[in-house]
Amino acid sequence: VTGSDGKTTTTTLVYEMLSAQGFRCHKGGNIGAPLLPEIANIKPTDIAVVELSSFQLHDMHCSPDVAVITNLSPNHLDYHTDMQEYIDAKKNIFLHQTPNNRLVYNYDNPVSRDLIARSGREAVPFSISGGTDRGVLLRGRVMWTASATSRCSTWAISGSPAGTMWKTTWPPSAR
């Protein structure tokens, strides 16, 4: 997980959700204890949820199976020569992924959206603005997931009827 803001929160939420589903997970990187001393205890079937800063990504030559970009805005420009160098460092989180890997990004952040568009990568957006018709979208109190097949699922979230689940066809207004 990388971005200018929201890395720690996103890393923690992903870690907690995967752990709650029964996966054996390890949380680390730029958050909490370093994972390297724990490497002997991490099994190939375990999941490492790692917060990565631009400093950690700057010289990285491999990418995770699943990468998340929360957002990108001017940050650490006292360290990086300019915004482009900062973006280039962040880009390493997905630059070395294979076609079977996943990239998730914040569609509502123009810098992230532009980076993904220029990369030519297929990626999964998330949005609360409604500016995209695929990925994970929040509309009111309902979370939607949609793909190119135009089928989606919706889940009621906080404040909505508990346990409500619908199957529907995109777009939500067609419900």
30 among known catalytic residues: yes
Of 26, 27, 30, 96, the active-site residue reads 30
**Active-site residue identified among 7, 26, 80, 91:** 7
The rounded distance, in Å, linking the Cα atoms of 43 and 173 is 45
Token look-up 């200018």 returns 4
Could you say which of 43, 71, 75, 76 is catalytic?
76
User: Pairing between strand 66-69 and 102-106?
Assistant: parallel
- Identify whether the C-beta of residue 25 lies closer than 8 Å to the C-beta of residue 18: yes
Which residues are marked as active site? Answer: 7, 30, 76
